[in-house]
Structure 1
Amino acid sequence: MGDRHYPDGTLLGRARVPGFDHPRIVTVRNNELIDITAAGFALVRDIAESGRAAEHVRTAPGVGLGNVDAVLANSVAADHDPAKPSLLSPIDLQAIKASGVTFVVSLLERVIEEQARGDKARADALRGEILELIGMDLSELVPGSETAMKVKEALIAKGVWSQYLEVGIGPDAEIFTKGQPMSSVGYGAEVGLHPISSWNNPEPEVALLVTSTGEIIGATLGNDVNLRDVEGRSALLLGKAKDNNASASLGPFIRLFDGDFTLETVKQSEIALRVEGQDGFVLEGHSSMNQISRTPESLVAATVGGHHQYPDGLVLYLGTMFAPVKDRDGVGKGFTHKLGDVVSISTFELGTLSNSVNLSTKCPPWIYGASHLLRDLAKASLL
């Protein structure tokens, strides 16, 4: 990939293009962004459901929109020129789902969030107490196993019971709705924090593109923006902590599975995170997908099947093992975002997703929904 923000491979995305009311379907060929919008394939949803998504994207005729790097640069909110093409989130009608506490090694931080009840100062002390109590490497635990149940029982006996223990090491995965279809933002856009939050963080993740039949056909990068103080106060506040204006970012493109890129490739991905603040603060971290406690296939099976259908397919965030604890404003105060932070999430296989941080009330409001998209496509005779 080199220094590029996008990988080689069969790439599928969406772009805002001057002169068109509706988003355009795009791919990348020879470092150029290509518009492949056509009747019958004017939705990412329809391409995904076609049964031949990768083949279609590779062979569809198209029109050049310019150098990809130039389009990426114009997609950055602060530098955006509406007279030029820019990227959008690479999905449209798909449901936006997410899985939580899928890395047992991140379970500790979730328990701390809840036990600290949003108090950053108390988190460090709790971290030490719980580690001493457990006395083992959490990465060795297999959710639902006999050993995992013994650890859970020991924590309960000591009064450190948590909702996160059940979904982290119990038999059932946590699956929740991250946002409504059409609500996600793409590369370069601002991501939103609810203004009530004073303790929050990015969650760098791989997200899978899944069809209505449950077939996994591609992957992209995602930032599952999280309000640690809100979620820590009560698990019942998960919706408020997770689903706010511009709180779900995806991109830059979906990379579709083909002969060179498969789900097995995703399972070995190394995800790098970098947060750069206007105050000079830099936070770096990484997640190793091979440390995931629940397989991607099992998470998809827990989401879609006989118990729940998604006729337009879905995208599923797979969770993260990274919980930032680096002090930002003083010893023991931990990490939280500041407005203007630039969050970059990268893998060799999927490129780089970069967004700047703002309040959800200050990010551009979400005003273009599924009804607007379908009406615009109908007017253009593309449905």
Structure 2
Amino acid sequence: MILPEDAADATLIGRVWSNAENGPCPVLIRGGRVLNVSVFAATVSGLLEIEAIAGHLAQSTDLPDLGHLDDFLNQSAGHLLAPIDLQAVKAAGVTFADSMLERVIEEQARGDSARAQDIRTRLAPVLGDNLRGIAAGSEQAARVKTLLQEMNLWSQYLEVGIGPDAEIFTKAQPMSSVGCGDMVGIHPISEWNNPEPEVVLVIRSDGTILGATLGNDVNLRDVEGRSALLLGKAKDNNASCAIGPFIRLFDEAFTLDVLSRVRVSLHVVGADGFDMTGESPMEAISRTPASLASQLRNRNHQYPDGAVLFLGTMFAPVKDRRGPGQGFTHEIGDRVEIASPLLGRLINWVDRCDACPEWTFGTRALMRNLAMRGLSEKV
């Protein structure tokens, strides 16, 4: 159930911990089988640097078979990892009107969820009507900025939401992201938080956008709401970044234009019986994926190991959970499913950061493992 609906026609790159290989392997998913592509490169980062890699993979008929995908989902042969390794993990913020409004509400509420509904009632009719359909950096955006400044409603979040410069921040460290089936972590100081379902671009070191996957940019609304300077504490924590299940490479049928029209769904089910669903279109984004990628990687900033870029969340969950007017927040044990027909399903369960497995397998551990397996020259 985690594969795209047209998986038979898709080039799907993943990463698994293989018990047989005693380490992480970049893999190709074909016909439900997990095929080891370490013959091309020992890391996903290196694999994606190979020119026309999708074509090379399509022509390969003798790749080592590590087992059926089910063998990794039930962990008899190993387990799924995030489908990236050495790439920088970056994110764009406030790129959709609804989440833009919610960021302003967080700022006004100073991180207090109890105040959010009153502020939402006051601001939504004004900001919502002005923000929807605006192209960031346009003349219309500049006129809206002037109007909102005159109404004393301008915000730092609106500046990056509809101004010329996007918010691009570091979401997580290379090698720290968790994959499909793993726990995702909420910092124990947070009482107001949410999943952020996003489309994630996969970008080669030269800036070429190669494909996409799904991501959960787990967010602490109360922490960032107290101060935007706490963004790092709100975003980069143990198990707070989930990516997967697989990278889908672009081809003739699956292009950047097709990606810009996908719909992403969110489904949260709690042990307390809470159930929340939603669906949003990528077409509602205020900046094109290509323009966001160009603000990430350009002559002023390079990523020699490649990068992935979260494109911003379309969702700002506000369904009451703990009581009227309290809005949404996670509870321990929540099952979070982020899905799109063309990208598959990313499924994780929520726990506290200090209860999730510690991140111990970093870049040095990877290099040691590859050297032990005789793969250090294929990084």
Q: Normalization by structure 2: what TM-score?
A: 0.94
Correspondence for 1:65: 66
Separation (CA, whole Å) in 1 of partners of 2:247 and 2:96 = 23
Q: 1:78: which partner in 2?
A: none
1:337 aligned partner:
330
Deviations 1:204-242 (A, max 9, x none): 001011001000001100000000011111111110000
* Pair 1:21-2:18 in alignment: no
Deviation at 1:103, TM superposition (A): 1.2
* Partner residue, 2:346: 353
Give the corresponding residue for 2:53: 53
Contact 2:98 2:128 in 1 (8 A): no
Structure 2, unmatched stretches of 5+, are none
Rounded Cα–Cα distance in structure 1 between residues aligned with 2:109 and 2:3: 38
Deviations 1:234-257 (A, max 9, x none): 111110000001111111110111
Corresponding residue for residue 93 of structure 2: 100
* Structure 1 position 70, deviation (Å): 4.1
CA RMSD after TM alignment = 1.5
Residues 106 and 4 from structure 1, CA distance in 2 versus in 1: closer, same or farther, beyond 3 angstroms? closer
Farther off after superposition, 61-70 or 299-308:
61-70
After superposition, residues 79-118 of structure 1 pair within 5 angstroms as: 81=75, 83-118=76-111
Judge conservation of contact 2:201–2:213 (CA < 8 Å) in 1: yes
**Aligned positions of 1:183-222 closer than 5 A:** 183-222=176-215
**Which structure 2 residues correspond to residues 175-324 of structure 1 after superposition, within 5 A?**
175-324=168-317
Change (3 A) 1:225 1:12: same
Percent sequence identity is 54
Q: Deviations over 1:192-213 (max 9, x none)?
A: 1111000000000010110010
The answer to whether the 8 Å contact 2:4/2:340 transfers is no
TM-superposed deviation, 1:4: 4.9
* Letter matched to residue 42 of structure 1: A
Offset at 1:42? 1.0
Judge conservation of contact 1:116–1:126 (CA < 8 Å) in 2: yes
Return the offset for 1:123.
0.8
Instruction: Determine if contact 1:219/1:254 at 8 Å carries over to the other structure.
Output: yes
d(CA) in 1 for partners of 2:85 and 2:173? 10
- In structure 2, what is the equivalent of residue 77 of structure 1? none
| Corresponding pairs, count | 372
Q: C-alpha separation between the residues in 2 aligned to 1:175 and 1:103? A: 14
Give the SS at the match of 1:136.
helix
Deviation at residue 122 of structure 1 after TM alignment: 1.0
| 1: CA distance, partners of 2:344 / 2:266 | 12
- Please give the alpha-carbon distance, in whole angstroms, between the structure 1 residues aligned to 2:100 and 2:106: 10
Q: Relative to 1, partners in 2 of residues 1:4 and 1:249: Cα closer, same or farther, differing over 3 Å?
A: closer
How many angstroms apart in 1 are the aligned matches of 2:125 and 2:247?
A: 42
CA distance in 1, matches of 2:128, 2:356: 44
Q: Which runs of 5+ in 1 are unaligned?
A: 75-80
Residue 366 of structure 2 aligns to a residue in which SS?
helix
* 8 Å Cα contact 2:101/2:127 also seen in 1: no
Residue identity matched to 1:48: L
Q: 1:6 to 1:69 in 2, by over 3 A?
A: farther
Q: Give the CA deviation at 1:134.
A: 3.9
Deviation at 1:153, TM superposition (A): 2.9
Secondary structure at the residue paired with 1:66? strand
